[in-house]
Amino acid sequence: MKGYAMLEIGKTGWIEKERPVCGPRDAIIKPLAVSPCSSDVHTVWEGAIGQRHNMILGHEGCGIVDEVGEFVEDFKPGDRVMVAAITPDWSSLEAQAGFPMHSGGMLAGWKFSNFKDGVFGEYFHVNDADANLAHLPDSISPEEACMLSDMVPTGFHGVELADIKFGDTVLCIGIGPVGLMAVAGSNLRGASQIIAVGTRPNCVEAAKFYGATDIISYKDGDIAEQALALTDGKGVDRVVIAGGGVETFEPAVKALKPGGKIGNVNYLGAGEYISIPRVEWGVGMGHKQIIGGLMPGGRLRMEKLAKLVELGKLDVTHLITHRFNGMDKIEDALYLMKDKPKDLIKPVVVL
């Protein structure tokens, strides 16, 4: 079969591979739509997780079940399915401990375009099919389902990590598609003031649609100073980091009230260390928590998030700015994600 792959760090191209083999609990999926992610860009062009050779890229998609293993109970060939970007081994000890995304080792629940071929192929393999697939409701289009694969669950996980509560003041650093979903999730959780950090006009407009009350730009100066100015110098209760690099932790800590929480879902592609400002971190005693996490994945989460879309509580269509048709357009869509033109939020390729 054909697939669009990372050939090595900095190089991509089309390759031929064997169709994946279906184990007894697995499924083989024929994609209906796929979407490239900023994470693919970190992986290929920053070499952020190290060298990979001839690995099919992509982890965001939905499709039609082509084959299932003998122990798969709830899915059969022909079913339309959503697939989360993270596909843990649900019987692992890490999953039992509450961290399915780290099943088998740190970040090892993230298999597509990390430890195995991803979704930019004619077929792709899903482990633990009963736990990692979800039926795609008729009212949700394949392109919307792609947003439910990673952008929605990751942005919302940032909100979970920051533990956003009714009336909280929130700073959301980054309003690409992930940050936009963090804004939407904060809004659904009842945040009051939502200060979004971003510059691209499409993203700013979408951030307002999803509930941002204030927009600031890191290009206009220090994020913390701007956030403090918008909160009468008091700071914010919660921060979600969904963009920028290792340097964002400093303004995040500075803008945060004592007792506040920072949830990071940003994939830090470069830099050796994150520096935390000593004084603003309460000289070590400020009760300012920082937690970073990969989104958990799983069928239950996808079904619940899809329900928000089905019932009109979450509209993911504002994330999709570029639409392509046909597998050969995957390359164009990925390069769009790499080059980030000003009018881009998220591209989707319908196959």
Residues that bind ligand NAD (CB under 6 A): 37-39, 42, 150, 154, 173-179, 197-199, 203, 218, 242-244, 248, 265-267, 294-295
Give which of ligand NAD, Zn ion, none residue 36 binds (C-beta under 5 to 8 Å, depending on kind). none
Give which of ligand NAD, Zn ion, none residue 179 binds (C-beta under 5 to 8 Å, depending on kind). ligand NAD
Give which of Zn ion, ligand NAD, none residue 169 binds (C-beta under 5 to 8 Å, depending on kind). none
Q: Which is nearer to ligand NAD, 133 or 203 (CB)?
A: 203
Q: How far is CA 86 from CA 75, 115, 140, in A?
A: 19, 11, 20
Element (H, E) at 39: helix 38-45
Q: Which is nearer to ligand NAD, 20 or 243 (CB)?
A: 243
DSSP letter at 284 equals G
Smallest distance, ligand NAD to C-beta of residue 87, A: 12
Q: Which is nearer to Zn ion, 128 or 150 (CB)?
A: 150
87 bridge partner residues:
none
Smallest distance, Zn ion to C-beta of residue 38, A: 7
Type of residue at 227: A
DSSP letter at 176 equals S
Site of tokens 């997780």: 49
* CB-based contact 39:176 (threshold 8 Å): no
Q: Which is nearer to ligand NAD, 124 or 267 (CB)?
A: 267
**CB-closest chain residue to ligand NAD:** 243
Token code pair at residue 143: 């392109």
Q: Which is nearer to ligand NAD, 22 or 161 (CB)?
A: 161
Q: Quote the CA–CA distance of 166 and 76 in Å, as a whole number.
A: 42
Kindly list the residues in this chain that would bind Zn ion in the complex (CB under 5 A). Answer: 37, 39, 150
* CB-based contact 9:44 (threshold 8 Å): yes
